[in-house]
Amino acid sequence: MTADATGSAIPPCTVDYTRRTEYHEDLDAIRAAHRVLQQVSYSPSLPVKGYNDRTLYVDLSALEIREKPVTRQMKDLFIGGRGFGLWHLWQAVTPATRWNDPENEIIISPGPVAGITQYPGSGKSLVVSISPQTDIPIDSNVGGYFGPLLKFSGFDALELQGKADQDVILFLDGQRGIIRVESAPLEPADSHVLGELLTRMYAEDDADRSNISVVCSGAAADHSLIGMLNFTWWDKRRGCVRFKQAGRGGIGTVFRDKRIRALVCRGPVIKADLNRPADFETLARTGIKLHQEIRTLDDSQCKMRRNGTAHIVEIMDAYDLLPTHNFQYGSHPDTPKIASYVWEARCSQMTSDGCWYGCSLGCAKGADGLVLRTGPYQGHMVTVDGPEYENAAGLGSNAGVFDPEWLLELNFYCDTYGICTITYGTLAAFVMECFQRGILNQERTGGLELAWGNAEADLELMHQMARGEGFGRIAGQGVKKMKELFIRNGWGDPKLIQDIGMECKGLEYSQYLSKESLAQQGGYALTNKGPQHDEAWVIFMDMVNKQLPTFEDKAEALYYYPLFRTWFGLMGFCKLPWNDIAPADNAKTSEPAKIPEHVQNYLDLFTATTGIPIDIETMLMQSARVYNFQRVFNLRMGKGLRANDIPPYRSVGPVTREEYESRTERYDKQMLEEIGVDPAGRSVDEKIAITRAFRMERYGKLCDAVYARRGWTPDGVPTMARLRELGLDVLPEVVAIVQAHGG
Amino acid sequence: MRQLKINLPACDGGRTCDHECEAACATRVFKLDGRQGAALHVQELADGQSAAIICDQCGDCVTVCPADALKRNKQGVVMIDKQLCVGCYICIGFCEKGAFERHPGWLEPYKCTACGICVKACPHAALEIVDVPAPVPHII
């Protein structure tokens, strides 16, 4: 029995997970309206040791479809996944390219290990494009079946370039060897309808639905810059499609700008060895070992199988790290209403929730039987992912929404409308704080009372975004453009607006309160793509466990973890089975935060797949090539310098009197002990200014230390020596860009 | 449901027999040489007792299988559908009895089907097929 924080029993979920509103009655009419615009045949193949050695290129303007070879240099320098995506993108664009230029691409690449079924978290693909929010490359790591099915249909990556002149579907049939572009004039926009419909449309029989994956977005991607992509898989037990999201940076917006309604891949029937690894027995042995570990330890560690990533909601609150009211505060008395035990009881537990076969961690929990109360699907019964931590925090505490059913509805509409939950959460929180402080009012929001916790207004904002109307259309431009607009309109103190708008490089922050962790401030703002925790989640090591006391310690963490985590995106791995489960004796190792046994698992999995032996140093070098290449790519697009790594002050320290006063003891203590100034007798405003000067100087020193450790100049440019060390000096344009920036 | 049951006091763990149960299972059911390939295992313990690894058809593997490849048949025995199996081996890792098997070179795992061949082979009559109620599925 599930229990809450006081030990009281919470009844388990009794919802019938097979029931929901269905949407396929118009399937035949919708299919009949399709016209074949282009079709080619090809020879399906299976990878050898993780690679097919070819990618698929589609130009939607010219309706050109062709194969491209994967060269030895591509594999050596870029490995796969995010590396392949960045390399293709580099060749496709120029420094002048913006997100909605036809030459911009969307590249989906699963990586060499992706698609193995033995090890949890091995079905990921990486999506790369020039972001409408940041104007630099964005990369997003996504589950669902599309990446593995693409690979087992014969391609290591899919490149999409150009723009169609009408809404189209790209269908890749890996069983019959057909690639087809079809017009899609009658397709619905929203993912929970479209995914279901297309899965049934392209499957040849009921059993074939498992071999189909759809990539699609939703109505809000058409009218905003924060569109995301849903990647489906067929949930056999529920009898419906489920989704995982390539969320960050607006790739769904690029997708719709190209007039792509959906990508559909029909792959072969999945078997254990389709990746044709060099050493299957090692994959089997390593996978079984982790399955046993999860079976034995998950219940006493993170309970990922019960709660997914939402298991940390109350932990974050307890450590004053749960973003609340636009990152002003780190906890809230109502957090128990959205804590992990609430989700454990709300989600169906007697089923399988992995987003690719073999994931026994199964964090894609499903909240079934949700009856919607607003919007175009009001009254419909739907299944939505039991919220991930980021969604519980972003759509919940950060907006002051502590009602789990409203939170689920916000999550559902973000997903089906095709917008990023993290981005939406942070921008809605910004809007609400602007409303609180009079920067916005009902006149400026077109009547929306965007007060903390007003879920109905929050949802109406989202519905407006989907309809391309009203203030929702403005909000859908993201925090950076809202800040510019509000300042331009003279709606408030420009400095305050800049300070509280939680974006860096144009991307909204994900949901951790970094202001008391210097290392996490760098973990966010020193990222390549913008402040997303998938590069360096070091807040616990730094703030809670005090394992990073010096600048050098923090710099080392901000060297190692971004490289280590980049590696997941080269291979097609999920990060979660690395450290959301740990071996029983992990604490006895010399570096428990790194989970050494699991690192060894990954080295073994790479070698067992490709036949290429590697050690930890080689692993970090593989990542460092791609990581530094991405930094140079940023330079090429006009960013990538120290000036672009400056965070909004809200992520560094207290902006307002209320924030300071919520932690007076902490800030006064720091002033006395670390700054050397006696806070006694000083006004709150004075103390805020002193703290700010100290913290921003300290952040600058962190940049110095991190850049030095990464082999970059004080302006954040990779040095030529570092390029040579990584073997990137064989790329003349990379060298020229670095030299032009003093590297 | 049909279930293979062992009477451990009667089983001597191979002290005075040649593990006929395992040999029969491996060679006649799964066509594997040697008893290591069997879907049940008995052994003698140092204290004179015996121990066995036997599938009791608890059905935990049915709950965790992501491919819906494990189902009970009409007799309640958990059977694997090789057409649906994707070779993830969650069933092996999650079997608390350690009773799910895999053979090197085989993609699909295998398990006891309560066929009874081992029952007939046991020289001590320590094995029997019984009919017991299927346990209520639980959260894993």
**Beta pairing partners, A69:** A54
| Whether B20 contacts chain A with CB within 8 A | no
Q: What is the pLDDT of residue B17?
A: 93
Nearest CA-CA partner of A622 in A55, A111, A49, A53:
A111
DSSP assignments along A668-715, one per residue = HHHIIIII----TT--HHHHHHHHHHHHHHHHHHHHHHHHHHHTB-TT
CA of B90, closest CA in chain A: separation in Å? 6
Q: What is the pLDDT of residue B48?
A: 85
The count of other CB atoms within 10 Å of the CB of residue B98 is 12
The count of other CB atoms within 10 Å of the CB of residue A488 is 9
Residue from B80, B90, B95, B108 whose CB has the most chain A CBs within 10 Å, to mutate: B90
**B82: helix, strand or coil:** coil
Do A391 and A435 fall into the same domain? yes
Q: Is residue A440 part of a domain?
A: yes
- The most distant pair of C-alpha atoms in chain A lies apart, rounded to whole Å, by 79
Q: What is the pLDDT of residue A1?
A: 61
**Strands A212-216 and A178-183, bridge-based pairing:** unpaired
Q: What is the pLDDT of residue A189?
A: 98
**A573: helix, strand or coil:** coil
Q: Give the closest of B63, B83, B86 to A357, CB-based.
A: B86
Q: Is residue B11 part of a domain?
A: yes
CB contact under 8 A, A288 and B65: no
CB contact under 8 A, A118 and B87: yes
Q: Is residue B37 part of a domain?
A: yes
B97-120: average pLDDT: 96
CB contact under 8 A, A360 and B87: no
CB contact under 8 A, B66 and A294: no
- Report the CATH number at residue B56: 3.30.70.20
CA of A1, closest CA in chain B: separation in Å? 10
CA distance A684 to A668: 10
CA of A379, closest CA in chain B: separation in Å? 30
CA distance A633 to A611: 31
Do A400 and A453 fall into the same domain? yes
- The string of pLDDT tens digits covering residues A476-502 is 999 999 999 999 999 999 999 999 999
In the numeric block, which tokens belong to residue B105? 């070179």
Q: Which ranges in A526-663 belong to alpha helices (H)?
A: 539, 551-571, 576-579, 596-610, 616-636, 657-662
Q: Answer positive or negative: Cα dihedral of A693, A695, A698, A703.
A: negative
Q: Are the C-beta atoms of A399 and A453 separated by less than 8 Å? A: yes
Q: In chain B, what residues touch A360 (CB-CB under 8 Å)?
A: 64, 88, 90, 93-94
Q: Is residue B140 part of a domain?
A: no
Q: Is residue B13 part of a domain?
A: yes
CA angle A128, A601, A628 (to 5 degrees): 35
CA angle A252, A256, A258 (to 5 degrees): 120
CA angle A244, A247, A251 (to 5 degrees): 115
Q: Is residue B48 part of a domain?
A: yes
Q: Is residue A260 part of a domain?
A: yes
Q: Is residue A650 part of a domain?
A: yes
Q: Are the C-beta atoms of A164 and A183 separated by less than 8 Å? A: no
Query: What's the Cα-to-Cα distance from A274 to each of A154, A256, A269, A307, A455, rounded to whole Å?
Result: 11, 32, 9, 31, 46
Q: Is B18 exposed, middle or buried (0-12, 13-18, 19+ CB in 10 A)?
A: exposed
Minimum Cα–Cα distance from B92: chain A residue: A288
CA of B56, closest CA in chain A: separation in Å? 18
Among A508, A541, A563, give the residue marking a domain's end. Answer: A508
- Domain tally for chain B? 1
In the numeric block, which tokens belong to residue B122? 């046991």
| Whether B98 contacts chain A with CB within 8 A | no
Q: Give the closest of A273, A281, A354 to B104, CB-based.
A: A281
Do A502 and A523 fall into the same domain? no
Do A568 and A686 fall into the same domain? yes
Q: Is residue A600 part of a domain?
A: no
> DSSP class of residue A362?
-
Q: What is the pLDDT of residue A12?
A: 78
Do A57 and A176 fall into the same domain? yes
The range of the structural domain enclosing residue B15 comes to 2-130
The range of the structural domain enclosing residue A725 comes to 518-581+615-740
- Domain tally for chain A? 3
Residue from A122, A149, A269, A295 whose CB has the most chain B CBs within 10 Å, to mutate: A295
Q: Is A142 exposed, middle or buried (0-12, 13-18, 19+ CB in 10 A)?
A: buried
Minimum Cα–Cα distance from B60: chain A residue: A350
Chain A interface residues facing chain B, Cβ-Cβ under 8 Å? 12, 117-118, 210, 236-237, 269-273, 281, 284, 287-292, 294-295, 305-306, 349-352, 354, 357-360, 362
B27-46: average pLDDT: 94
Q: Is A742 exposed, middle or buried (0-12, 13-18, 19+ CB in 10 A)?
A: exposed
Low-confidence ranges of chain A (pLDDT < 50): none
Give the amino acid at A727.
G
Q: In chain B, what residues touch A295 (CB-CB under 8 Å)?
A: 93-94, 96, 140
CB contact under 8 A, B94 and A295: yes
- Report the CATH number at residue A337: 1.10.569.10
Q: Is residue B138 part of a domain?
A: no
> DSSP class of residue A343?
H
CB contact under 8 A, A360 and B90: yes
CB contact under 8 A, B86 and A289: no
Enumerate residues 6+ apart whose C-beta is below 8 A from A21.
A377, A380, A381, A382
- Report the CATH number at residue A103: 3.60.9.10
Do A174 and A81 fall into the same domain? yes
**A418: helix, strand or coil:** coil
CA angle B22, B27, B29 (to 5 degrees): 90
CA distance A234 to A533: 29
Do A565 and A440 fall into the same domain? no
Q: Give the closest of B67, B102, B104 to A357, CB-based.
A: B67
Q: Is residue B136 part of a domain?
A: no
Q: Give the closest of B66, B92, B137 to A352, CB-based.
A: B66
Do A498 and A473 fall into the same domain? yes
CB contact under 8 A, A305 and B140: yes
Give the amino acid at A483.
K
List the end-to-end C-alpha distance of chain B, in Å, as a whole number. Answer: 21
In the numeric block, which tokens belong to residue A105? 């691409």
Nearest CA-CA partner of A326 in A393, A259, A254:
A393
In the numeric block, which tokens belong to residue A305? 């199988």
Nearest CA-CA partner of A163 in A103, A81, A75, A203:
A103
Residue from A116, A118, A242 whose CB has the most chain B CBs within 10 Å, to mutate: A118
In the numeric block, which tokens belong to residue A631? 């930094």
Minimum Cα–Cα distance from A234: chain B residue: B67
**Beta pairing partners, A48:** A51
| Whether B62 contacts chain A with CB within 8 A | no
Q: What's the ipTM?
A: 0.98
A20 φ, ψ (degrees, to nearest 5): -170, 170
Nearest CA-CA partner of B137 in A337, A331, A12, A737:
A12
CB contact under 8 A, B93 and A292: yes
B121-134: average pLDDT: 97
The count of other CB atoms within 10 Å of the CB of residue A376 is 15
CB contact under 8 A, A349 and B107: no
CA of A409, closest CA in chain B: separation in Å? 26
CB contact under 8 A, A236 and B68: yes
Do A406 and A448 fall into the same domain? yes
Nearest CA-CA partner of A434 in A508, A512, A500:
A500
Do A453 and A572 fall into the same domain? no
Do A400 and A338 fall into the same domain? yes
CB under 8 A, 24+ apart: contacts of A372-377: A372/A409, A372/A412, A373/A409, A374/A409, A374/A456, A374/A459, A374/A460, A374/A463, A375/A413, A375/A459, A375/A462, A375/A463, A375/A466, A376/A190, A376/A463, A376/A466, A377/A21, A377/A416
Q: What is the pLDDT of residue A123?
A: 98
Give the amino acid at A104.
N
Residue from A357, A359, A361, A605 whose CB has the most chain B CBs within 10 Å, to mutate: A357
Q: Are the C-beta atoms of A276 and A113 separated by less than 8 Å? A: no
- The string of pLDDT tens digits covering residues A667-712 is 999 999 999 999 999 999 999 999 999 999 999 999 999 999 999 9
Q: Is residue A620 part of a domain?
A: yes
**Beta pairing partners, A441:** none
Do A576 and A697 fall into the same domain? yes
Q: Report whether pLDDT(B6) > 70.
A: yes
CA distance B88 to A338: 33
Nearest CA-CA partner of A328 in A399, A392, A248, A389:
A399
CB contact under 8 A, B93 and A237: no
Q: Is residue A597 part of a domain?
A: no
- Report the CATH number at residue A731: 1.10.599.10
Q: Is residue A278 part of a domain?
A: no
